[in-house]
Amino acid sequence: MNLLAIGDVVSPAAVQHLSRRLSQVQDAYKIDFTVVNAENAGNANGLDPDEAQALLDAGADLLTGGNHTLRRRKLYPLLDSDPRLLRPANLSAHAPGVGYGIYRAGGDRVLVLNLIGRMFMDAADCPFDAADRVLAREQGRYDYAVVDFHAEATSEKIALARYLDGRVSAFFGTHTHVPTADEQILPGGTGYITDLGFTGVQDSVIGVRSEIIIDRFRTHLPARFEFAQGPVTAHGALFTLTPDGKCAAVQRVVF
């Protein structure tokens, strides 16, 4: 089973890039299932229903979220009605939508769980306990388990991945927009990378026009964010999963 995970899609221009390129990449790597983190795909942070639909049309099997997913109330009905949209499972019990689902990839059942970190992030329930609860509840109902952990701190990502090592097939981090070079198979057989990086204009500060962020750091004055303009690059990773639920290979994918 070839699983493609694409890092945070930032801006409608990045959505258009995936609309143009994703299907070619899926063919080239013989991808069976594609997960796209889409929390920033909308026009100004968050996710619009239109961008969500465009990403699904582009070939994403599933869209995961993060700290910005609930920013747009007009997304709430879609979060409640379309199981292909996830938000982190360990948010408040009042949050719309769901944090995991079990999906078909050919003859296989893939459980995808979206979690959010607690280091340098807003309040959330314990992601370790949330993962335990979901895996216990769904035991026997899936062939592969995949985790998107949307978190700031590398240590928290590594810790949760090692806690789940051997119990999930693939574990990738999102949120920082900076790809890490630590793709690996953990001792228990889980494929891992700390952060996929982002899909958007790389000539920027994590997708935003550099001058705006530089000014904000220098002046501490509020400023309106604007997406950077220019060529878009997508960052992600390919996980090759074996029938025993383990990962045989992880490689970064850039296009």
Cβ partners under 8 Å of residue 173, min gap 6: 148, 149, 150, 151, 154, 157, 180, 193, 194, 195, 196
Footprint of Fe ion (CB under 5 A) = 66-67, 175
Q: Which is nearer to Fe ion, 78 or 151 (CB)?
A: 151
| Cβ pair 207, 227 in contact under 8 A | yes
Q: How far is the CB of 175 from Fe ion (least distance, A)?
A: 4
Catalytic residue check, 175 = no
Residue 71 has what DSSP assignment?
Answer: G
141 in helix, strand or coil? coil
**Tokens 């899936």 label which residue?**
142
* Shorter beta-carbon distance to Fe ion: residue 6 or 135: 6
| Nearest residue (CB) to Fe ion, 100 versus 142 | 100
Residue with Cβ nearer Fe ion (24 or 120):
120
User: Quick one: 175 or 246, whose CB is closer to Fe ion?
Assistant: 175
Q: Which of 68, 175, 177, 235 is catalytic?
A: 68
Pairing of strands 184-185, 191-193: antiparallel
- Residues 253/28, Cβ–Cβ less than 8 Å: no
Least Å from the CB of residue 143 to Fe ion:
29
Q: Which of 172, 174, 154, 152 is nearest to 164 (CA)?
A: 172
Shortest distance in whole angstroms from residue 15 CB to Fe ion: 16
- Residue ranges in 165-242 assigned as alpha helix (H): 210-219
Residues 147-163 as b/e (b if ≥16 CB within 10 A, e otherwise) read bbbbbbbbebbbbbbee
Shortest Cβ 140–Fe ion spacing (Å): 32
Least distance from C-beta 96 to Fe ion, angstroms?
Answer: 18
Closest C-alpha among 61, 50, 53 to residue 26: 61
Active site residues: 68
